[in-house]
Amino acid sequence: MTVRVTGVKEAEAALEWNADAITEALARVVVEVAEAVKDEARRQVPVDTGKLRDAIGVQVDGDTAEVFVASDVHYAQFVEFGTSRRHATPFMGPAAEVERGNIEGRVEQAVKDAADG
């Protein structure tokens, strides 16, 4: 799942807000959303030994966050998408969908808080 926020510069000019505060607030939202997707994926993933659940993580690089499954858990794709012998049990896609509906509200609140602060 990729989240891209555009129009920050335009919002700053139009509303005379502090661009640094808005940028920092939006960067926090990106991390919050990624952490929420990770937590939801961990709730939804089928658990046998717990290795797959424990391999779900978040990597943050500047204003980008990625939810991933560690590469040493090679069977994650078979769980998510299924095989000819095993039905799919999606956990990453559904977790992203749960949070998709929350992003707009999180962004609005972060920008409001940055403007008020």
User: How far is Cα 11 from Cα 9, in angstroms, rounded to an integer?
Assistant: 5
Q: Quick one: what percent of the chain has pLDDT higher than 70?
A: 82
Q: Quick one: what percent of the chain has pLDDT higher than 90?
A: 53
Q: What is the 3-state secondary structure (H, E, C) of 46-104?
A: CCCCCHHHHCEEEEEECCEEEEEECCCCCCHHHHHHCCCCCCCCCCHHHHHHHHHHHHH
How sure is the predictor about 111, in pLDDT bands with cuts at 50, 70 and 90? confident
Determine the pLDDT at residue 110.
Answer: 83
4 vs 28, which has greater pLDDT? 28
Give pLDDT tens digits for 16-50: 556 677 788 888 889 999 999 999 999 999 999 99
pLDDT at 12 over 60: no
Buried b (16+ CB within 10 A) or exposed e, 2-13: ebebeeeeebbe
Determine the pLDDT at residue 66.
Answer: 92
User: How far is Cα 96 from Cα 36, in angstroms, rounded to an integer?
Assistant: 9
Q: 72: which strand partners?
A: none
Instruction: List the end-to-end C-alpha distance of the chain, in Å, as a whole number.
Output: 30
Give pLDDT tens digits for 75-90: 999 999 999 999 999 9
The full set of domain ranges for the chain reads 8-116
